[in-house]
């Protein structure tokens, strides 16, 4: 498991048809690292190696975290 901007993230590869790999990324809650915040799956991106699919999964997690915006408190 890696950390990106204080969020634990993990990426793994899922074997698909024709010995090609799909990416799945998981972003965990920084306060409760065992609780998933978001699971990211992208069937449109197909990789030739397991390592490449895992790297793509981490990139998906980082992009999702970069898109988070701080919530404003209600006034």
For 12-43, how does the pLDDT look when each residue is reduced to its tens digit (9 = 90+)?
999 998 999 999 999 999 999 899 999 999 88
Question: How high is the pLDDT of residue 68?
Answer: 83
Q: Please return the burial class of 2, using the count of CB atoms within 10 Å of its CB with bins 0-12, 13-18 and 19+.
A: exposed
- 26 located within any domain: yes
- 75 located within any domain: no
The gap from C-alpha 8 to its chain's centroid, in whole angstroms, comes to 10
pLDDT band at 44 (very low <50, low <70, confident <90, very high): confident
- 49 located within any domain: yes
Rg of the chain, C-alpha, whole Å: 14
- 74 located within any domain: no
Domain count, the chain: 1
CB atoms within 10 A of CB 39: 10
Alpha carbon distance 68, 17 (integer Å): 33
Q: Distance between terminal CA atoms of the chain?
A: 37
Host domain of residue 58: 2-66
Q: What's 33's domain CATH number?
A: 3.30.160
- 44 located within any domain: yes
């Amino acid at each position: 498991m890696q950390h990106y901007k204080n969020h634990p993230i993990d990426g793994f590869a899922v074997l698909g048809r024709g010995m090609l790999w799909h990416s799945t990324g998981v972003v965990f809650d920084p306060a409760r690292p065992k609780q998933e915040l978001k699971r990211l799956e992208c069937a449109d991106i197909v990789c030739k190696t397991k390592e490449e699919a895992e790297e793509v999964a981490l990139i998906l997690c980082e992009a999702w975290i970069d898109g988070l915006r701080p919530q404003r408190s209600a006034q």
